[in-house]
Amino acid sequence: MQKILNFIDGEFKAGTGGEFANKFPTTGEIFAEVSAAGKSDVDAAVGAARSALKGPWGRMSVPERVSLLRKLADGINARFDEFLAAEIRDTGKPRSIASHIDIPRGAANFNVFADQILTASTETFEMKTPDGGDALNYALRGPRGVIAVVCPWNLPLLLMTWKVAPALACGNTVVVKPSEETPATATLLGEVMNEVGIPRGVYNVVHGFGPSAAGEFLTSHPDVDGITFTGETGTGEAIMKAAANGVRPVSLELGGKNAGIIFDDADIGATLEGIGRSCFANTGQVCLGTERLYVQRDIYDQVCEGLAQKARSYRMGDPFDQATTMGTVISAEHRDKVISYYDKARASGAQILAGGGVPDIKGYEGGYWVEPTVWTGLDEDHPVVTEEIFGPCTHIRAFDTEEEGIALANNSPYGLATTIWSTNLGTAHRVSKQIEVGITWVNCWFLRDLRTPFGGSKASGIGREGGVHSLEFYSELRNVCIKL
Ligand code: NAD
């Protein structure tokens, strides 16, 4: 049985928090035992990260750090197949997704933030003093210190390096707590860190659960200088409370209940293709995915039929088979959660246009399968329409006017992402401006330029990451004022 260990101060170490099983979601079989970090292990990881700030890492120039970041990207790519297999075993996601998105983007993040830090500038202001003399202000960019990185399971390597890369680019050290569901690629990255010569203690990984375990030990640790988190809104609230002790900054990328708005002048073929991906990709386990769809009445029937067809078109099975287009969800618990919403929809009289249950996948009966599902007919205050399900499902409702479409989309405590589908430029601009979210896509979905601000409004998060916005969170600006 494979053992997955913590990575502390450059070494793989068993933790004092016991062991837990790591399962392959496609079969439900245990394929690894994960060693959980206890409080003393988290102390050791934070201590190692603190010491590393004072070691060679802390003295490195930006070009030296940049060269190491590029080696990390190359190091992941050199072991691409190992990262790919580890990610597929942890998540059950198809090779067609992981080889296209998770691993290449997981590596690319290091190059993106290497470029970013090389061109990062700070402000300079000349001023007059009260006695008519001159003074000069300039800002210095330095690291914040030890950053806690707490990650979810839906895009494990990608979302982790999205935070580790800018943190290291800015000269911080990190302690990563991967999701208990997906510990493998963060651990493998420890090997790459050593291979490319990242000094010990700069990158540490502690495994385990959240409450009263590694996650909470880390986020409540007094020697952590900042916390960056991606996950559920409820967990974000707990982390924000922990961060209040000692007034530590947080960056929170949280949940969503994203709306799609389809206008009757949309290009239907391209829209169904795009909206289909946004509802079902990664078995619906994408924070940016669409779970509420509003369609202008003239094309409502056409979209319902087209999306239901799309839902039925996925091929489920062995994720290592290139022909598989949909995998399982992450765990038995998550399957049960998703299915509980399917049951609630049925019990409330929803019209089920596709799916609605658990498919029978021959040879993989122990896997955590759910059917891609499309409903109509539920009220806007129904839990299926208001709560984040995080499964391959969406509810469709018709609207008549632009104002109504906007009001329906905004009727949510969340504000992460929206997609707008229209060939009318005026409609696209007007609606984009009025939607209360951090990210709006027009006639596309998940088209990412990593320099752009990324994050959520309302209950979907605090702060923006991406490009210079990441540098703002992962660095401390110090103003120097010199009377000349
Ligand atoms: P989660 O909140 O359950 O767990 C995320 C991480 O937090 C895990 O590592 C977990 O162990 C840890 N954790 C849990 N409780 C904790 C606590 N009290 N203290 C410290 N750490 C704790 O989220 P998940 O189920 O892994 O991921 C799915 C969620 O993530 C969805 O809500 C999804 O929308 C969200 N998400 C958001 C984005 C975004 O960019 N906004 C991206 C991906 C996923």
The CA distance from 206 to 208, in Å, is 7
Please compute the mean of the pLDDT values over residues 375-400 and round it to a whole number: 98
Q: How far is the CA of 391 from the centre of ligand 1 (A)?
A: 15
Q: Tell me the three state secondary structure of residue 97.
A: helix
Position 5 scores a pLDDT of 98
Give the pLDDT confidence of 24-62 residue by residue, as tens digits. 999 999 999 999 999 999 999 999 999 999 999 999 999
Nearest to 179 by CA among 155, 152, 160: 152
Please compute the mean of the pLDDT values over residues 320-340 and round it to a whole number: 98
Q: How far is the CA of 10 from the centre of ligand 1 (A)?
A: 26
Q: Whose CA is nearest to atom 26 of ligand 1?
A: 152
Position 251 scores a pLDDT of 98
Among 179, 235, 341, say which to mutate for ligand 1: greatest number of ligand atoms within 8 Å of CB: 235
Residue 441: pLDDT band with limits 50, 70, 90 = very high
Burial tier of 27 (Cβ tally within 10 Å: 0-12, 13-18, 19+): middle
Mean pLDDT of the chain: 98
The CA distance from 47 to 55, in Å, is 13
Position 356 scores a pLDDT of 98
Position 61 scores a pLDDT of 97
Give the pLDDT confidence of 251-277 residue by residue, as tens digits. 999 999 999 999 999 999 999 999 999
Position 415 scores a pLDDT of 98
Residue 225: pLDDT band with limits 50, 70, 90 = very high
The one catalytic residue in 170, 279, 287, 304 is: 287
Give the pLDDT confidence of 417-439 residue by residue, as tens digits. 999 999 999 999 999 999 999 99
Point out the ligand 1 atom lying closest to the alpha carbon of residue 219: 20
Percent of the chain with pLDDT over 90: 100
Point out the ligand 1 atom lying closest to the alpha carbon of residue 211: 18
Position 346 scores a pLDDT of 98
Residue 287: active-site member: yes
Position 68 scores a pLDDT of 98
Please compute the mean of the pLDDT values over residues 291-310 and round it to a whole number: 98
Position 235 scores a pLDDT of 98
DSSP string of 111-133? HHHHHHHHT----EEEEE-TTS-
Residues near ligand 1 with C-beta < 6 Å? Answer: 150-154, 159, 177, 179-180, 209-211, 215-216, 219, 230-232, 235, 238-239, 253-256, 287, 388, 390, 416, 456, 461
